[in-house]
Amino acid sequence: MTESQLNPVMPSAVAEARRIDLPVRSFLERLSRWWRKPSVATLTVIAAALIVMWNIWHRLDLTFADTAGYYLTAGEWRETGAFLRPNRLIYSPLYVVYLADLQRIFSDPLAVIIIHRMLIIVATAIFVLNAMRAIVPRAVAWMIAVWWILVSWNMPYEVHLFGFAFAALGIWLIGAGRSAWWRGLGIGALFCDGFLVRNEVLGAVGLLLLCAVGFEIWLCRKHGQSRRDTWANLGRLALPSVLIVAISVVAFSKNPKVERPKELLKEFRERQRENVPQVFAYGYKQRHPEWTLDPWKYTECGPLTKQIFGMENPRWSDAIKTNPKALFEHVSWNFQLLPAGIELGLFGNYTGNYSPDFFFHRTHGPAPLVGLVILLALWIAGGICIWQKRLYLLPLRSRRSWTWIALLCCVPTSIMAIATQHPRPAYILPLLLLLMAYTGLSVVLICQRLRIPDRSLRWLFVGVAPLILLTLAFLPHRADRRPILMDYRRLEPFGAILSHKDRVFCSNTELGFQVPFYLSGSRKRLPERADYTAIRADVPPAASLDEALDHAHVTDLYLAGRALEEEPLRLWRQLVDSKDPANAASGWHLIAMSADAKASWCYYSRAVPASARP
């Protein structure tokens, strides 16, 4: 006897429940279709990016090092339409133009830094969303785009994010359609990244172009495509990149080296000579804690590379020839740090005692390691599903296959960056996007293997996506230290004094030497910088601080924090502040100060000493 015969009321009760549930299902279905529309998905991703970066104007500091240098170069371009130093043409000129355009609109450096970062993050999030929609379901693509926003919005050095925006655009375009035009546009976007921003991407462009050309030849031989159509498609593949080269030559025509490619190639080689000693010394210091010098100072990393490779500024080819064993140790160490680099790139933190980045310091906790183990399990399960379904045999004509090909072609550039530089997330962004995409694909395949209905997943997404947005909106924002901005605001009223090339600025704060980059706004007004720690270390016991400052030709001295209580400095300040005639020869004057116990600082200035004048 069946269950319905035992309980005759049950069929009618089930039917009634289904009738009641039907409007709910219909509403959820309509809501899921509305939420997955391209326009709605794009707007919600933009909203997620703005929510994550909300209050950034109270949290973000002026970016140090690379961005500060690019800010100066952008000032040159804004004022003259050319670079005062011709070798700057090989340092991401398109990014410089982008910064210069924002400088024309906003005069405050903090506004320029914040807005240019926000625009990059929002644009890249849109490109990532559309690229992922070609290879995974729309809901999963949305999740990947939000994931990318969370781990990249505060990544140091915007130039890497700017370059990756073009890479993401290229990956999206190459899978946006089946025509050769789409593949040409995708290759053109990647070529723009490699040619004008991040030169290492040119390797990925070469691989992708080789795949595209091989595909056209295959169509001609195996599928009867005419030779005329094949040559036309090859032209479509190359045309966007050729146009980029032509526009670049015209745009940068004021720089004489544009017309002399041999000199540009020479500058590229010299650029490598500047980079190799620093990155090798940084990894060497991690492996040999007994070496306590600064890897970023050429005066300290140069002797190390001379000792190991026989020259202070070797190229990688020189390092291979002179000491392959030391170079192998450098490369193997970088790959040992790769798991930590992936953790930092995918979760914003890492486990371990050594940083995969150059400036990031970990917070304690096993969460990144647990997350990586979970992802490894997902990747293995996804790989089994791919093998069983033979998804690796996707037809080359499909949009999905070309998106995967573009992602895979970008991986060798990440591997080269890991081997030669360090596994920092900013260098392996294409690899991180590939891992995110593979994670999403693995989740989809596992759900299909478990026979979870697609409709249930869509309804789950309708509930989870708004919950994610609300969670992001109510997450507490950590108040970060902003030392460069603090020093900049203190010295901003005196920018007219400091913006002279014949002056020498000295500061004892950690990043105070970066302030003149933002105050001067151009290299032709950038003062020289002197290291206060080195000056103090060079003061003989019998000499005064005044003599050491004279020896370094310092004209502007900015001091803050506990250094104000040091005995030599305290005595020197008393002498200057007393206006003793015996001290008149030094010419120092107190310009500004604050006696606040929590933020005491002072700024002294004087005319350029006669000994320092040309």
> pLDDT tens for residues 414-441?
999 999 988 999 899 999 999 999 999 9
Number of structural domains the chain divides into: 3
pLDDT, one tens digit per residue, over 203-215 is: 999 999 999 888 8
Q: What is the mean pLDDT of residues 211-233?
A: 81
User: Is residue 540's pLDDT more than 70?
Assistant: no
Which stretch, 71-80, 251-260, 449-458, 556-565, has highest mean pLDDT?
A: 71-80
Q: What is the mean pLDDT of residues 141-169?
A: 90
Give yes or no for a contact between 240 and 212, defined as CB atoms under 8 angstroms apart.
no
470 in a structural domain:
no
- Counting residues of the chain whose pLDDT is more than 90, the rounded percentage is 21
At 463, is the pLDDT very low, low, confident or very high (cuts 50, 70, 90)? low
Which stretch, 219-223, 247-251, 318-322, has highest mean pLDDT?
A: 318-322
User: Is residue 130's pLDDT more than 80?
Assistant: yes
580 in a structural domain:
yes
- Alpha-carbon dihedral angle through residues 139, 141, 143, 147, given to the nearest 10 degrees: 180
- Report the distance separating Cα 536 and Cα 533, nearest Å: 5
Which stretch, 232-236, 346-350, 399-403, 408-412, has highest mean pLDDT?
A: 408-412
pLDDT at 4: 43
- Name the residue with higher pLDDT: 445 or 262: 445
User: Can you read off the two tokens belonging to residue 229?
Assistant: 């159509």
Q: Among residues 336, 353, 382, which one ends one of the domains? A: 336
Q: At what angle do helices 180-196 and 399-420 cross, to 10 degrees?
A: 20
Burial of residue 599, with CB atoms counted within 10 A of its CB: 0-12 exposed, 13-18 middle, 19 or more buried: exposed
Q: Among residues 296, 311, 336, which one ends one of the domains? A: 336
Q: Among residues 281, 315, 336, which one ends one of the domains? A: 336
At 392, is the pLDDT very low, low, confident or very high (cuts 50, 70, 90)? low
Q: What is the mean pLDDT of residues 14-23?
A: 48
Question: Pairing state of beta strands 601-605 and 589-594?
Answer: antiparallel
527 in a structural domain:
yes
pLDDT at 407: 93
The strand ranges marked E within 162-309 are none
- Counting residues of the chain whose pLDDT is more than 70, the rounded percentage is 80
- Name the residue with higher pLDDT: 313 or 473: 313
Name the pTM for this structure: 0.87
563 in a structural domain:
yes
551 in a structural domain:
yes
pLDDT at 257: 55
570 in a structural domain:
yes
590 in a structural domain:
yes
- Of 117-131, 301-315, 399-413, 528-542, the one with minimum mean pLDDT is 528-542
pLDDT at 261: 63
- Name the residue with higher pLDDT: 570 or 296: 296
pLDDT, one tens digit per residue, over 568-584 is: 777 777 777 666 665 55
Q: What is the mean pLDDT of residues 480-485?
A: 79
Give yes or no for a contact between 494 and 555, defined as CB atoms under 8 angstroms apart.
no
Q: What is the mean pLDDT of residues 511-519?
A: 83
Write down the H helix ranges in 7-108: 10-35, 38-52, 66-80, 93-105
Q: What is the mean pLDDT of residues 193-208?
A: 90
pLDDT at 82: 76
Give yes or no for a contact between 399 and 176, defined as CB atoms under 8 angstroms apart.
yes
68 in a structural domain:
no
Which stretch, 79-88, 208-217, 463-472, 479-488, has highest mean pLDDT?
A: 208-217
At 16, is the pLDDT very low, low, confident or very high (cuts 50, 70, 90)? very low
Q: What is the mean pLDDT of residues 475-500?
A: 79
pLDDT at 416: 92
pLDDT at 572: 74
The residue segments making up the domain with residue 507 are 483-612
Which residues have a Cβ under 8 Å from the Cβ of 354 and sit 6 or more positions away? 286, 337, 340
- Of 243-247, 272-276, 293-297, 573-577, the one with minimum mean pLDDT is 573-577
User: Is residue 21's pLDDT more than 70?
Assistant: no
User: Is residue 305's pLDDT more than 60?
Assistant: yes
Q: What is the mean pLDDT of residues 561-567?
A: 73
Helix (H, G, I), strand (E, B) or coil at 351: coil
pLDDT at 10: 43
What average pLDDT does the structure give for the chain?
81
At 338, is the pLDDT very low, low, confident or very high (cuts 50, 70, 90)? very high
